[in-house]
């Protein structure tokens, strides 16, 4: 995995509380501002090799720098995030539960073509696990990848809260935020932080669910229609947007969870999902307008801009099936 080393990005790190530069010590980092509450030595200690760059007074991340170990979003105290259910299945069965994310793979290729320069810096927000379809990000030696999450992981250099990204403004060329925004308390603040750390004309790629059941317990908060997702990224020029997975996938999610509720068994729901995995192919035949109104998840690929959309703009943006009535 081609992650940039922590020492190479140390000069980009800032205090998550006041955005002043950080100073490193043998056991952690501290804020260089003498008026900041994190000015004391090692205010941001290391947990293993990961610095905990969290303003704990404004975060759901605990005082020890990690979310509770028994939470769906949590880590083991000396380990890594829980593996997704699909990854715990035998390899031959995994595609039945979680098919290849072709939209992500296609859009990552487009993102690379849009980036200028020989060594772009790409930030993965919530990168505790390598996302489905974005593996190429970590395989391209030209890309300097920075990753963080609220848990420790081999795919990250530090622990942080996406509401207060501890990077200086205008320092990264691209941001990938895949299946993360539903798990943050204030997605608007997180997108504002993404906008802040991106260089002018920087690129963002986001995937966020619409019709999906709760999948991280207490750490699952919001969903977005196509229009709502576009307005969330209103300070970005749209390059492309569409469905990651359509109505067939949404139906499969629903059937899975209906069976879970009837049988009180997550395993029973997973087995049904495997048996009915062919429902994914309905996504290929449902027209885009109808898919937009019933999709499982949406993607957005956009370029940073200073000005946003108006209320009239977002109302006019809708192109679902109901605009055809």
- Angle in degrees, 0-180, between the axes of helices 266-275 and 247-263, rounded to the nearest 10: 140
Q: Which residue has the tokens 């303003």?
A: 55
Strands 158-160 and 144-149: parallel
**DSSP readout, 213-282?**
---SGGG------HHHHHHHTTTEEEEEEEEEE-HHHHHHHHHHHHHHHHHT-HHHHHHHHHHTGGGGGG
Dihedral pair phi/psi, residue 291, rounded to 5°: -65, -35
Which domains occur in the chain, in start order? Answer: 68-246+286-324 (3.40.50.150)
pLDDT at 139: 92
pLDDT at 119: 85
pLDDT at 96: 59
**C-alpha dihedral sign at 100, 203, 242, 219:** positive
pLDDT at 323: 83
pLDDT at 87: 55
pLDDT at 76: 34
Q: Which residue has the tokens 């108006």?
A: 310
Could you give the angle at the alpha carbon of 220 between the alpha carbons of 279 and 194, nearest 5°? 100
Whole-number Å distance between alpha carbons of 94 and 267 = 14
Residues 6+ apart with CB under 8 A from 116: 173
Contact 248, 283 (CB under 8 A): yes
- Strands (DSSP E) along the chain, which ranges? 22-25, 28-31, 44-47, 50-53, 121-125, 144-149, 158-160, 172-178, 198-209, 236-245, 297-304
How many Cα atoms occupy the beta-carbon half-sphere of 184 within 13 Å? 26
How many Cα atoms occupy the beta-carbon half-sphere of 55 within 13 Å? 18
Note the Cα 38 to chain centre separation in Å. Answer: 27
Alpha carbon distances (Å) from 158 to 13, 256, 271:
10, 35, 36
Whole-number Å distance between alpha carbons of 132 and 9 = 26
Nearest to 12 by CA among 196, 235, 186: 196
pLDDT tens-place values along the chain, 325 residues long: 678 999 999 999 999 999 999 999 989 999 999 999 999 999 999 999 999 999 999 998 865 555 544 444 543 333 344 555 555 555 555 665 678 899 999 999 999 999 977 789 999 999 999 999 999 999 988 899 999 999 999 999 999 999 999 999 999 999 999 999 999 999 999 999 999 999 999 999 999 999 999 998 999 999 999 999 999 999 999 999 999 999 999 999 999 999 999 999 999 998 999 899 999 999 999 999 999 999 999 999 999 998 889 999 999 999 999 987 6
- Run of H or E residues at 195: helix 187-197
């Amino acid at each position: 995995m081609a992650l940039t080393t922590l020492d190479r990005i140390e000069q980009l790190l800032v205090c998550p509380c006041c955005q002043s530069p950080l100073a490193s010590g043998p056991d952690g980092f501290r804020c260089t501002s003498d008026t900041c509450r994190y000015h004391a030595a090692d205010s941001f200690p290391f947990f293993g090799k990961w610095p905990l760059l969290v303003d704990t007074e404004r975060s759901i991340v605990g005082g020890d720098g990690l979310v509770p170990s028994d939470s769906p979003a949590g880590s083991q105290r000396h380990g890594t995030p829980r593996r997704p259910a699909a990854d715990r299945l035998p390899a031959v069965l995994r595609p039945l539960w979680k098919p290849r994310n072709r939209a992500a793979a296609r859009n990552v290729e487009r993102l690379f073509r849009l980036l200028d320069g020989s060594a772009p810096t790409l930030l993965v927000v919530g990168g505790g696990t390598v996302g489905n379809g974005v593996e190429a990000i970590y395989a391209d030696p030209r890309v300097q990848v920075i990753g963080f999450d609220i848990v420790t992981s081999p795919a990250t250099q530090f622990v942080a809260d996406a509401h207060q990204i501890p990077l200086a403004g205008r320092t990264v060329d691209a941001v990938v935020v895949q299946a993360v925004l539903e798990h943050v308390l204030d997605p608007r603040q997180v997108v504002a932080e993404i906008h802040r750390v991106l260089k002018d004309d920087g690129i963002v790629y986001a995937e966020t669910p619409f019709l999906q059941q709760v999948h991280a317990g207490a750490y699952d908060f919001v969903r977005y229609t196509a229009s709502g997702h576009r307005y969330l990224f209103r300070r970005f020029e749209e390059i492309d947007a569409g469905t990651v997975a359509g109505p067939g996938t949404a139906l499969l999610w629903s059937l899975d969870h209906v069976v879970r509720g009837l049988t009180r068994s997550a395993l029973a729901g997973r087995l049904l999902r495997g048996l009915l995995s062919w429902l994914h192919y309905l996504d290929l035949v449902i027209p885009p307008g109808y898919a937009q109104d019933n999709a499982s998840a949406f993607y957005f690929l956009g370029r940073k801009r200073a000005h946003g959309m108006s209320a009239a703009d977002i109302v006019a943006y809708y192109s679902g099936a109901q605009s055809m009535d």
